[in-house]
Amino acid sequence: MKFLLGVVLTFLLIAPLCVQAESRDEDPAEAMVRHIAKDLRCAVCQNQSVYESNSELAKDMLRIVRDKVMAGEKEAVIRDYFFQRYGDYIYLEPTTSGMNWILWGGPFLGLGIGGLALWAAMQSWRKRTLEASAKTQETTTVTDDTMKKRIQQEMDQVRM
């Protein structure tokens, strides 16, 4: 049992070092290609990155990214190249600029407006309930007084 525990602990200690060693050996240019290609949407596949897709278009786009990285172009220039050709659709995650603020802020704005509308409706319902309760109480008081007078009159008639 101690031997098995020792093997497991050794594996847990060595595994992260192996992963770090693998990532240190990776070519920085290829890492940049992967980083850029994972953020670009394949124009043929639905919600799949250029890096993950097997379509011919995705392979061509990946080759273009690789060529531009090897040519020394910056990430922003490469992204702009694809943006100019395909528009905002090419990004897997929409940008937070221009009209896309509506996409990012719209749900929160809708929740806020809905919350205010619900609060106003509840205040209105509460006010109507209190008014109805006051009217019921007044009616009950008037009805009680009327009933008492009528009962008194009938009792007086019976005694006579």
Q: pLDDT at position 117, please?
A: 96
Average pLDDT in the chain: 82
> Taking residues 49-57, what's their average pLDDT?
89
- Report how far residue 59's alpha carbon sits from residue 65's, in angstroms, rounded to the nearest whole number: 10
> Length of the chain, please?
160
Is the pTM here over 0.85, yes or no? no
Any residues with CB less than 8 A from the CB of 39 and at least 6 apart, and which? 49, 79, 91, 92, 93
> Taking residues 130-156, what's their average pLDDT?
77
CB 92 within 8 A of CB 47: yes
153: Cα within 13 Å, side-chain hemisphere: 6
What are 84-112's pLDDT values in tens digits? Answer: 988 888 888 777 666 777 777 888 999 99
Q: Looking at the predicted structure, is the pLDDT value of residue 5 above 80?
A: no
